[in-house]
A and B are shown apart, each in its own frame.
Chain A
């Protein structure tokens, strides 16, 4: 085993996902954390590191009765949990703590004990230079770059819509998915328009739920009840809080930087990857992810999905839980992408791919504002 190896030894989502009005946001964190501790055979006194995004680590640690010697409250949107995994690995290796709990919970739909939507108010750069032009949350911001991509690479809108069709095929195999019924290109193209060219099925769900992970040194991982999931490589970056100011509307700098770091650290080649999760807040995200992570040439991501490479039976299964478009999306979906990566490595996913050795989990935060990439493996590095 390589020195400084880290493993995920506990992983779980909230007991219920979707519409959970009986739990506050903080309780969704706690429900997921208790499930993850049970999964790892641990209790609160075994945890000495806490990372979370949204509430302060103070809130989560105190609520669960944990006395941490290390905390991380990094908050860069939906991929914050990828960054927590990366930071936790470094902290454990530095000897700052031994066993880290990463939690997420969000009452995105029911808004029970929920915090307000982020954003910096009227004096922020978004408040001054984007908000006055009529933006109404991510559906009218995150979507803006897509048309430039389509023109640059001569990609038809039906190929954006197709992403939602293919991901529903995965959700169809997942009894916990919010939307399980198969859909068609016609249905997606003719659904209610949200922000042309994006119809409702091309936009993520708004649901309630949570998830938690427990990480420790890989040399301890065999002592836990579950099959360990090893961290092979990690990356992170940020670009801009303003979607209008991203360098190039056809590619995400944060995706490229984060992905390259993770692949370089892991030594994994793209051909070795059995399973891929790309945070799909909107239908264009998997296309950008495939290209910016290096699985496709620029301009070829939409055709790669159209040709069913990422669909059930395809050579590179992507978003096998159904994704943010069909599985669930509480607001910060990155945690659920990580959970599905762990399930696939453990071999317990509802739509299980056979013999998954390497899974790449890639997250986005803000509107192409941030990114985190985690490469998972079933064997110690």
Chain B
């Protein structure tokens, strides 16, 4: 898939995953890379940026194995932003799907 396109979608994926529950970085990276082929390291700059913009808060939680993990929690601002992105995404993908359907129908 087009690289430019994927990066915007990555943001949406992170927001959707955090809307379900609070998660730590590694977990987010695994969840996304199960579905989409990404350079896993690029999720961390994204998480930092969105945290700085106030979409997430973070806290450390002890883990039964290994060092404490940094969890990300979606804020209200983040949730509103997710809603905006979701609306845009739905509008966009509906449009493309509609065009594909018409295209296939015409053949």
Partners in one complex: no
Listed in ascending order, the chain A residues whose CB lies under 8 Å from chain B are: none
Listed in ascending order, the chain B residues whose CB lies under 8 Å from chain A are: none
